[in-house]
Amino acid sequence: MLIGYARVSTADQNPDHQVDALLRAGVVERDIHVDIASGAKASRPKFDLVMQLLRADDTLKVTRLDRLGRSLLHLVTLGAELRERQVGLHVVEQGIDTTTAEGRAMFGMLSVLAEYQRELIVANTHDGLAAARARGRAGGRRPRLTADQAALAQQLYDGGQHTVAQIAAMLGVPRTTVYGHLDKTSTRTRTPA
């Protein structure tokens, strides 16, 4: 039996090209399972289901090796588990078929390269953030409140006449945003409002 697995990292991404490639590779549509999850996550519901469905002499088909995961340890462990269970792995776009000695060798080499690519991405991200910090730019989201709005929120909170919910409603933001901008250590003791 052929079982297909596709994965995209976010809901904004479209898995259709992977599904189409698996259909062309002979997988029946009902046997294609799609996850929307990062490859770095240990648990992916559809992947877990696929692993339960696979039996001896079945073949797991994916479009690319990085759809299975980005960790070398995970890929190597998965490859060993599939071999032990007598399940083949066919990576359509990379021409890997672990039912052959050449395919097993290629799987091992591409696993190393996939891990290397992931480490490069992480290193480049860290370098980019460090360079931005050195130039005075902070990473992450922009604050939802301007400095003036945050000062007003603090003033209203310190005055004790408004609840955080009221301040949030005035500023058109969630209460959690107001809480994130308040310096509660500088406030005087509040009387419940």
- Entry field: residues in the chain: 193
Report how far apart, in Å, the C-alpha atoms of 33 and of each of 28, 50, 115, 166 are: 11, 7, 24, 47
Catalytic residue among 9, 38, 111, 186: 9
Q: Which residue has the tokens 């107001």?
A: 178
In 3D space, the residue among 99, 96, 100, 119 whose CA is nearest the CA of residue 109 turns out to be 96
Annotated catalytic, 186? no
Residue 46 · residue 39 · CB < 8 Å: no
Any idea which residues carry the catalytic annotation? 9
